[in-house]
Amino acid sequence: MAEMLHSDPQIRKAAVEKLSQTKTRQPCGQNRLCGICGWCVALDVSKRLKHPKSYVREAAVETLGKMGDAALFHGDQVVARIKDEDRYVRWAAVESLGLLGSAAYNSAGLIVVCLEDPLMDIREAAAEALGRLGEFAKHYVGSVTALLDGSMDPDVRRVAAEALGKMGLTAAEAVPCLSEHIKDQFPHVRVSSLKALAALGESGVSVGTHCEKVVRCIEDQCFSVREAAAEALKSFGPCAGPFVPQIASYLEHTRQEVRRCAVECLVNISDHADEHCQSIIARLDHSDPDVRWCALDAITKMGRGTGMTMIDLKTSSSDIYDRKKSLRSTPVRRSMSPVRQRGLALHS
Mean predicted lDDT score pLDDT of the chain: 76
Q: What span, in angstroms and rounded, lies between the C-alpha atoms of 34 and 215?
A: 61
Q: How high is the pLDDT of residue 69? A: 67
pLDDT tens digits, residue range 210-255?
888 999 999 999 999 999 999 888 888 788 888 889 998 999 998 9
Report the C-alpha gap between 306 and 271 in whole angstroms.
11
The band of 101, judged by pLDDT with boundaries at 50, 70 and 90, is: low
Which of residues 176 and 313 earns the better pLDDT score? 176
pLDDT in tens, 319-339: 545 544 443 443 434 444 555
Residue 63: count other Cβ atoms within 10 Å of its Cβ. Answer: 28
Bigger pLDDT: 29 vs 171 = 171
At a CB cut-off of 8 Å and minimum separation 6, what does 19 contact? 1, 4, 41, 45, 63, 67
Specify which of 52-66, 133-147, 187-201, 306-320 reaches the highest per-range mean pLDDT. Answer: 187-201
CA atoms within 13 A on the CB side of 182: 30
Greater confidence, 193 or 281?
Answer: 193
* C-alpha closest to that of 183 among 197, 171, 169: 197
pTM > 0.85: yes or no: no
pLDDT of residue 4: 60
Helix ranges (DSSP H) in 21-107: 38-46, 54-67, 75-80, 87-100
pLDDT tens sequence across 195-218: 999 988 888 888 878 888 999 999
Check the CA dihedral 138-142-143-145 and report its sign.
positive
